[in-house]
A and B are shown apart, each in its own frame.
Chain A
Amino acid sequence: MFKLSLLSLLFCLNAHAELRATGDLGVVIERAKGSALIINTSKQKTLAKIEALGDLSHASVVFSRDQRYAFVFGRDGGLSKIDLLQDKVAKRIIQAGNSIGGAISQDGQLIAVSNYTPGGVKIFSAETLELIADIPAQYGDNQLSKVVGLVDAPGQRFVFSLFDANEVWIVDVKKPTTPVIQKFKNIGKQPYDALLTPDGRYYIAGLFGERGLALLDLWNPETGVKRILPDYGKDDEKLPVYKMPHLEGWAVAGDFMLIPAIGQHEVLVIDTRQWTLVKRIPVIGQPVFVMARPDGRQIWVNFAFPDNQNLQIIDAKDFKIVKSLIPGKAVLHMEFTPRGEQVWVSVRDDNQVIIYDTENHAELKRLSAEKPSGIFFSSRAHKTGL
């Protein structure tokens, strides 16, 4: 008996020694193996590997607002809730056949997942992952559309786009079991992804099937979806797209926003007061992610195949490229530390995550990871639309 309590005392002491805070943690997706690494950005090291998360060939992650849990959305419809304190899967469900991403509600209580098959959005309890509402993306003659560009918005709402139906929907989930849906039709052909501005006001969907972007002002939804940059690149030949750009990371310098041009070797600078194109920055390939450092001073850009060994850095002061890097084979994603002194870069085919100092662009450290793709830090927990 005594021995037993001594043992449990030792265990307790040990547990205390390993107390862990989660504000400087993150998750790196290992896409080929269906695993994820839990990392610490202050110590720049890997803490644990979580396995058996299914097909993570397209995966994204959101965080609970207490930053304890990471919700991983897998390609195969898997939704896994990882406990960052205990290095384990707290709960995992398969909620659809083919899935693309997800979001967490303003109040942190609901998880929404956007699905390709069956096309629609499902809403779950963040605590138990029980299904609360099912919203099929129905259009036309009883067809279901693939859903993309799902974000959370203020007012306990989710906003998303219907790739096949050319629609944007706002769903109010204040009463989660009876969601209220507002639909916007004919917003433009084939919206492929979308972003929400950090103030939660503007929802902007990129269009694959035609020129320009679709803009919805969530402060004035009654004014409908407007087309912006309708003439952009109309005289240029659209290049084949080997990887769809991602619209995430609103890059702002004053009133300007930077986004990837689709089918062009350009980053676009938009004046957000008039929603006009003010500059086209030539870059080395077709941009995939155009991400601003948290202070907005630098914008880091990665590229689609076959230029995906590169990274370019734009200075927001004059929108000029200040640095080009070649991190390695297949640079897939970047994530900044909360105040932006480091950026973590995944280099898929080199099986590396490279950490750079954003001030002098020097490489600080490399971590091994198997075919790393998305990198997500827990600081996302407190950002609308991420």
Chain B
Amino acid sequence: MRYLIIALAFSASAMADKAIDSPSLERQQELHNMLAHDCGSCHGLTLKGGLGPSLLPKALAGKSDQFLVHTILEGRKGTAMPPWKPFITEQEALWIVQKLLK
């Protein structure tokens, strides 16, 4: 139980501080490729939008990390956005969100 609380506290602070562990370099490369080509097949290679909306910082401004991570992992019902959680972890989704916001 104590471990769980510690873990929760850790993940909460990670969200807050944006001081998350980065994925390994190799995994980062895979995620980059996924972002450009798989996300890019709907959102555009330059992420300025296609069938799906733009993912450029301006378009994402005002949306919380939590909301964006949730959207990536769970998808959006009623739209073409599928859930990506079979392929990426929450931590990786947060890493992607921070990339997108930069």
Instruction: Name the one of A98, A116, A190, A240 contacting B82, with C-beta atoms under 8 angstroms.
Output: A240
Tell me whether A117 and B36 are in contact (CB under 8 A).
no
0/1 interface trace, chain B 25-42, chain A, CB 8 Å (1 if under): 000000001001110111
Residues of chain A with a CB closer than 8 A to B37's CB: 31-32, 57, 330, 348-349, 371
* Chain B residue total in the interface (Cβ 8 A): 20
Counting contact residues on chain A (CB < 8 A from B), the size range is 20 to 34
Tell me whether A100 and B50 are in contact (CB under 8 A).
yes
Q: How far, in Å, is B32 (CB) from chain A's closest CB?
A: 11
0/1 interface trace, chain B 81-100, chain A, CB 8 Å (1 if under): 01100110000000000000
- A163 vs B52: C-alpha distance when bound (angstroms): 12
Q: How far, in Å, is B49 (CB) from chain A's closest CB?
A: 6
Chief secondary structure at chain A's binding surface = loop
Instruction: Name the one of A75, A190, A330 contacting B44, with C-beta atoms under 8 angstroms.
Output: A75
Q: Which of A56, A240, A330 has the most CB of B within 10 A?
A: A240
Tell me whether A242 and B38 are in contact (CB under 8 A).
yes
Residues of chain A with a CB closer than 8 A to B75's CB: 240
Residues of chain A with a CB closer than 8 A to B44's CB: 55, 57-58, 75, 98
- Is B80 interfacial (CB-CB < 8 Å)? yes
- Is A146 interfacial (CB-CB < 8 Å)? yes
- Is A306 interfacial (CB-CB < 8 Å)? yes
- Is A344 interfacial (CB-CB < 8 Å)? no
Task: Find residues 48-64 in chain B having any chain A CB closer than 8 Å to their own CB.
Answer: 48-51
Tell me whether B40 and A57 are in contact (CB under 8 A).
yes
Q: Which of A57, A76, A241, A330 has the most CB of B within 10 A?
A: A57
- A241 vs B52: C-alpha distance when bound (angstroms): 13
Q: How far, in Å, is B86 (CB) from chain A's closest CB?
A: 8
Tell me whether B83 and A163 are in contact (CB under 8 A).
no
Q: In chain A, what residue has the closest Cβ to B49? A: A98
Instruction: Name the one of A55, A192, A241 contacting B46, with C-beta atoms under 8 angstroms.
Output: A55
Tell me whether A243 and B38 are in contact (CB under 8 A).
yes
Task: Find residues 270-308 in chain A having any chain B CB closer than 8 Å to their own CB.
Answer: 305-306
Q: How far, in Å, is A185 (CB) from chain B's closest CB?
A: 21
- Is A63 interfacial (CB-CB < 8 Å)? no
- A163 vs B51: C-alpha distance when bound (angstroms): 9
Contact flag A98-B50 (CB < 8 Å), given A57-B40, A242-B38, A349-B33 = yes
- A98 vs B42: C-alpha distance when bound (angstroms): 12
Residues of chain B with a CB closer than 8 A to A58's CB: 41, 44, 50
- 10 A/B residue pairs, CB under 8 Å, sorted by A: A55-B45, A57-B40, A57-B41, A58-B50, A76-B48, A98-B44, A100-B51, A116-B51, A244-B51, A306-B87
The interface of chain B, by Cβ under 8 A from chain A, is: 33, 36-38, 40-42, 44-46, 48-51, 75, 80, 82-83, 86-87
Which 10 residue pairs are nearest across A and B when measured between Cβ atoms?
Answer: A57-B45, A240-B82, A305-B38, A57-B40, A243-B41, A242-B82, A240-B83, A75-B44, A55-B46, A57-B44
Q: A58-B41, A75-B50, A117-B49 are in contact. List 6 more A-B contacts (CB 8 A).
A: A31-B45, A55-B46, A98-B49, A146-B51, A190-B80, A244-B41
